[in-house]
Amino acid sequence: MKTIFGPINSRRFGSSLGIDLSPALKQCNFDCLYCELAPAVTVDAQENVVSVEQIINELKGHLDEKIDVITITANGEPTLYPHLDELIDAINQIKNNTQTLILTNSAMLVDERVFNALLKLDQVKLSLDAISNDIFNKIDRPHKDIRVEEVVKKVQEFSKIFTGKLFIEILFVHGLNDTKEEIAKLNHALLGINATRIDLGTIDRPPAYNVAGISYKELHEAALLFDRELPIHIASRIHAEPNYAKYNEEEILNTLDKRPLTMDDIDILFDKPSKERLKNLIKEQKIIKKRVGNLEFLLPATNARRKRTK
C-alpha cells in the first residue's frame, strides 16, 4: 500500500505532503473519542511495519511537487513506527529546503529514542487534550501504561531543547475538557511549555464515537481563559491558499480516506479535471457525504463502512 498522500492544503501547516506510517490499518496507542478513523483496540507497538526503503523510494517521486512541508503522520500514531529515527535521517538527506513535520499525540515522548528522533525535525505538533487523569483517560482512551503526568513532563522538557517550531494542539470535546477547572490546569501546564503556537480546536470532522464539539463562540470564550502571554490560536479554515493540484481517482480515494474534506477544501485543493473525477466517484457512490455540525465531508464509502474492532 502507498505511504505517500496529498499534497493537501493544511489549514495550519500549508501545502503538506503526507507520509502515512501505517497505511494498511489503524495502529495507535490512543483510541480518542474524536478520532477521524474508526475506533480500534490500542497497541503499544506496530505489528504491520512498512520499510524505510519503500517510504523513501515513494517520497523521491514527489519531491518536485510544490510543497511546504513533509508531514509524518499515520493511520494511528506515527511515533509507534519502529524505524522512526532512521526514517527521519533518510528524509533529512533528501528534503532540501522543504520543512519536516510530525503530528503526534505526545505519549511516546517518554521513550528516549522517540524523544531524540523528534529533535531532528523542523516542526513538531504535539497534542495535549487534558491534564486531569480521568479526563485524559475519557477523551484519549490511552493504552494501559500511559500516564498523563509523565507525558506532560516530557512535553515540557522537549519544548525547552527543541530548536524548531513547536505547536501544541488542544481539541475540545463538549462536556469533558471544556470546563473552567480543566482549562486552568491546561493553562498552568502550558506556562511550562515553550510553544510557537497553541492551536485550540474542536471536533469538526466525523468522530469515531458519538461525541460533540463546542461552538466557535465557546472556543473563543475558552481562548480568553488562557494567560495572555500564551500564543493561543483558534484553529480556523479561512487561511487556506489555493493549490489546484491534479489528483487521479486513486489519489482522490486515498486522500479522502486519510482525511475527509469539505467541498470548500476541495475547491482550493483540486484542479478542474480532478473535480470532475470526484463528481464521477460521487455518482458511482464510491465517495459519500457525511454531515458533522454545519459542515459536509466527503469520504470513501469503504471508510464509512469500517467497523469497530472491539
Residues in contact with ligand SF4 by the rule CB under 6 A: 28, 30-32, 35, 37, 76-77, 105
Nearer to ligand SF4, 77 or 251 (CB): 77
Nearer to ligand SF4, 106 or 243 (CB): 106
* Gap between the Cα atoms of 81 and 255, Å rounded: 21
Q: How far is the CB of 163 from ligand SF4 (least distance, A)?
A: 25
Q: Which of 38, 3, 42 is nearest to 22 (CA)?
A: 3
Nearer to ligand SF4, 10 or 274 (CB): 10
CA atoms within 13 A on the CB side of 130: 24
Q: How far apart are the first and last CA of the chain?
A: 24
Nearer to ligand SF4, 17 or 74 (CB): 74
Nearer to ligand SF4, 28 or 130 (CB): 28
Q: How far is the CB of 142 from ligand SF4 (least distance, A)?
A: 9
Q: How far is the CB of 27 from ligand SF4 (least distance, A)?
A: 9
CA atoms within 13 A on the CB side of 230: 24
Q: Nearest 5 degrees, angle CA 198-CA 95-CA 69?
A: 30
Q: How far is the CB of 251 from ligand SF4 (least distance, A)?
A: 22
Q: How far is the CB of 31 from ligand SF4 (least distance, A)?
A: 5
Q: How far is the CB of 242 from ligand SF4 (least distance, A)?
A: 28
| Alpha-carbon 168 to chain mean position | 11
Nearer to ligand SF4, 68 or 77 (CB): 77
| Alpha-carbon 62 to chain mean position | 21
Q: Give residues with Cβ within 8 angstroms of 163, minimum separation 6.
A: 119
Q: Give residues with Cβ within 8 angstroms of 184, minimum separation 6.
A: 225
- DSSP secondary structure of 91-142: HHHH-TT-EEEEEE-SGGGGSHHHHHHHTTSSEEEEE---SSHHHHHHHH--
Burial of 304 (0-12, 13-18, 19+ CB in 10 A): middle
Nearer to ligand SF4, 32 or 117 (CB): 32
Q: How far is the CB of 284 from ligand SF4 (least distance, A)?
A: 29
